[in-house]
Amino acid sequence: MEAVRLNAAEFIRARLPLLPVPGIPEIVLHKAVPASGLGRLAAEDAAFGSPYWAYYWLGGLALARFVLDRPEVVAGRRVLDLGCGSGLVAIAAMQAGAASVLAVDVDPYAVVATQVNAAANGVAVEALHADLTEGPVPEVDLILAGDVFYDPEPAARVTPFLARCRAAGIEVLAGDPRRAPLPVARLRGLAEYRFAETDSGVMRVSEVFAFD
């Protein structure tokens, strides 16, 4: 697996062009395009899952824009980017002055993509392949959770984990375009943005929430 992941880093650099993020020109990411041929990575590893890390997601876009516009939210703080995907939110937090950022994802390829993207943006991010939802509360000051409520199953695991973190005094911010599994009863809206999530150019609303 380690060899495959090393190959993944080379593949990402070579086949996914480095592009400015829509609405967030401060950051560039390696993004999949039709010619990228992600199927080649999938063919090398039977455990290769959906390559969410290769595309823009609305919740992550909103969180990244939020922390760049309001650097006081992360400045000098220990930050966890939960479900880091491409590493967009982690990179934004470091650019905004976070003391440190731990970027975590259950997909090992997301961890590789985060490392590659962080290097491309000249920031240092610790990236970890793990599922934190069943473990102890992390030693951080702030959790940034973009697009973690995209499906009922992950939402059912993430929601009680974030509730435990809040009970321990950790601030939690979530980014999401109001997908159905969103635990709206626990959320308080902070900001709203419009982004083109895909290459279609269609603008969609995404929001940043405080998890209370």
DSSP 3-52: HHHHHHHHHHHHHS-EEEETTEEEEEEE---GGG-HHHHHHH-TT----G
Write the pLDDT tens digit of every residue in 22-49: 999 999 999 999 999 998 888 888 878 8
The pair of structure tokens assigned to 144 is: 């940034």
The pair of structure tokens assigned to 110 is: 């997301």
Q: What is the pTM of this model?
A: 0.94
> Selecting from 3.50.50.60, 3.40.50.300, 3.40.50.10790, 3.40.50.150, what CATH number does the domain 2-211 have?
3.40.50.150
Which residue ranges make up each domain of the chain?
2-211
Q: What is the mean pLDDT of the chain?
A: 94
Write the pLDDT tens digit of every residue in 177-196: 999 999 999 999 999 999 98
